[in-house]
Amino acid sequence: FERNSETEFLYEEKLGFKNKLIIVGGGHCALALSELMSKMDFHIALFDDRADLNTLAKNRFVHEKAVIESYEKIGEFVIGGANVYVVVMTLGFVFDEIVIRKLFDKEFKYFGVLGSRAKMKPLLKNLEKEGFDKEKLKQIRTPIGLKIHSRTPEEIAVSIAAEIIAVKNLV
């Protein structure tokens, strides 16, 4: 509050989003996560390489949506930062690996990949063998979401959102 006179006060509030959520992959889980996170303090950007994807077309919950030529170019669109949260949920682990490689050197508050433990563990081991920093690889969360036996895209979205909120609030 700022006092302008004895009887008048001026209240100012900074508007805008404090946090940025970047979702890479625009499928059903991304649609559900976008809808849920749109109700929170996150500016949401969504990237996919499939122009004809119906769930991408249906997604009206994000602030930015882009169809990119290839996940090889994702690094050109994603800027790191202390309040940047990245969720990778592409069509499969081959694309997940491309995204991890392209975003690895950037700093994020949260960097998570939806992929299964069975596929992601060997992928991360291979990256380590190639010389990727072991400690930084350990910071990649995979599989993402709280362990609540999620089955549907909506349940998966709730588990991921809860994990992101826990990181944001340092629980």
pLDDT confidence of residue 110? 98
Q: Is the pLDDT of residue 2 over 70?
A: no
Q: What is the Cα–Cα distance from 48 to 132, expressed in whole angstroms?
A: 25
pLDDT at 5: 57
Kindly indicate the confidence band of residue 9, based on its pLDDT and cuts at 50, 70 and 90: low
What is the rounded end-to-end Cα distance, in angstroms, of the chain?
31
Angle between helices 153-168 and 28-37 (to 10 degrees): 50
Please give the pLDDT value at position 37: 98
Q: Which tokens go with 60?
A: 């009206």
Q: What is the three-state SS of 27-53?
A: CHHHHHHHHHHCCCCEEEEEEECCCCC
Q: 3-state DSSP call for residue 2? A: strand
pLDDT of residue 1: 45
**Beta strands 19-24; 64-67: pairing state:** unpaired
pTM value is 0.90
CA–CA separation, 78 and 66 (whole Å): 12
Task: Inform me whether the pLDDT recorded for 13 exceeds 60.
Answer: no
Q: What is the mean pLDDT of the chain?
A: 93
142 has a pLDDT exceeding 70: yes
pLDDT in tens, 42-81: 999 999 999 999 999 999 999 999 999 999 999 999 999 9
Give percent above pLDDT 90 in the chain. 88
